[in-house]
Amino acid sequence: MVLAAFLAAAAHLCGVAVATAQIQVTRDVLLDPFVDSAQATGFLQGHGVMLEVNRGFGSTDGEVAWNTKAGGVIELYRWEGDAILSLLLGNEMIGNAKNDIGFNPRQVRWEEALVFSKKLGQFTMQLGGIHQCKHDVDNSDPLDSDDPDITAIAKRVIILSGPYVSVIGPTFRPIDQLSISTYARADWYPASSEYRFPANSRGRSLADAAANVSAGGRISYLVGTAAQGYILGWGAWSFPGGSVAESFSFRAEAGIGLKGRVGALHPYIAIERFADDLTRYFPQRSTVTQLGLRFSSSMLR
Q: Is 191 a residue whose pLDDT tops 50?
A: yes
Full set of structural domains in the chain with CATH: 2-296 (2.40.160.40)
Question: Per-residue b/e over 10-31, b at no fewer than 16 CB within 10 Å?
Answer: bbebbbbbbbbbbbbbbbbbbb
Spatial distance between the Cα atoms of 239 and 154, rounded to a whole number of angstroms: 26
What are the beta bridge partners of residue 232? 253
Residue 18: what pLDDT? 32
* Residue pLDDT, tens place only, 28-57: 888 888 877 667 889 998 888 999 999 999
Residue 294: what pLDDT? 95
Q: Is 189 a residue whose pLDDT tops 50?
A: yes
Spatial distance between the Cα atoms of 299 and 65, rounded to a whole number of angstroms: 29
Residue 11: what pLDDT? 36
* Residue pLDDT, tens place only, 148-169: 778 888 899 999 999 999 999 8
Q: Is 16 a residue whose pLDDT tops 50?
A: no
> SS3 for 122-180, per residue?
CEEEEEEEEEEEEEECCCCCCCCCCCCCHHHCCEEEEEEEEEEEEEECCCEEEECCEEE
Spatial distance between the Cα atoms of 125 and 98, rounded to a whole number of angstroms: 44
Q: Is 64 a residue whose pLDDT tops 80?
A: yes
Q: Which helix (H) or strand (E) holds 194?
A: strand 191-197
* Residue pLDDT, tens place only, 200-223: 988 888 888 888 898 999 999 988
